[in-house]
Amino acid sequence: KSDSDTYTCDIGDAQSRAKLVVQEIPVLFKQELKNEEAKEGKQVKLTCELSKPDIPVKWMKGDTVLYASEKYEFKQHGTVAELIIQDVKSIDS
């Protein structure tokens, strides 16, 4: 929730108002994804860390958006986002 709004100091017969505009800090990667190698049939976990907690993350393979399934599992704890790929195959490269 944003704190940007108009604030009022009311003393009964008079009021003073001020507008507060909060400039959001952009979300950055504190730790970027790292290249991984895995043997076929194994599980792989890709992890990145963001500068702000609980930011919505979209995972993609190439230009394709990934959705949770038996193959792909997403986890997010505070600033850490994880993609777990089950039973990797050569086509997952």
State both tokens at 78.
């505070």
* Res 1 pLDDT > 70: no
pLDDT in tens, 45-83: 999 999 999 899 999 999 999 999 999 999 999 999 999
pLDDT in tens, 22-51: 998 899 999 999 999 999 999 999 999 999
C-beta of residue 88 within 8 angstroms of C-beta of residue 41: yes
State both tokens at 37.
């190698």
**Residue 21 CB contacts under 8 Å (≥ 6 apart), including other chains:** 4
CA distance 62 to 67: 14
**Which domains, and CATH codes, for the chain?**
42-83 (2.60.40.10)
40, HSE (Cβ side, Cα atoms, 13 Å): 3
